Amino acid sequence: MRSAAEAFTSAVQALASQVFPWANEMKVRHEWMYAWYDHQPEEPIQLPATDKNTPK
């Protein structure tokens, strides 16, 4: 199950800079449907720099 979540995260990360060129990071949160208490912090992932997400 964890490997499926990691594969999905990688796929979204690969597309993020094309779909959202102004974004400089994305936050990933892993939560399972049966979780009654979720205490994991979001994991920031830096996206590649573009002319739209980098201050000038």
Q: What is the pLDDT of residue 11?
A: 93
Confidence of residue 34 (pLDDT cuts 50, 70, 90): low
User: Which residue type occupies 6?
Assistant: E
Q: Which of 28, 26, 21, 30 is nearest to 53 (CA)?
A: 21
Q: Is 39's pLDDT higher than 80?
A: no
Provide the sign of the torsion angle of the four alpha carbons 8, 9, 15, 21, taken in this order.
Answer: positive
Containing 40, the helix (H) or strand (E) segment is none
The whole-number average pLDDT for the span 16-31 is 88
Q: pTM of the entire structure? A: 0.52
Average pLDDT, the chain: 84
Reference 9, options 43, 48, 36; nearest CA is: 43
Is residue 56 over pLDDT 70?
Answer: yes
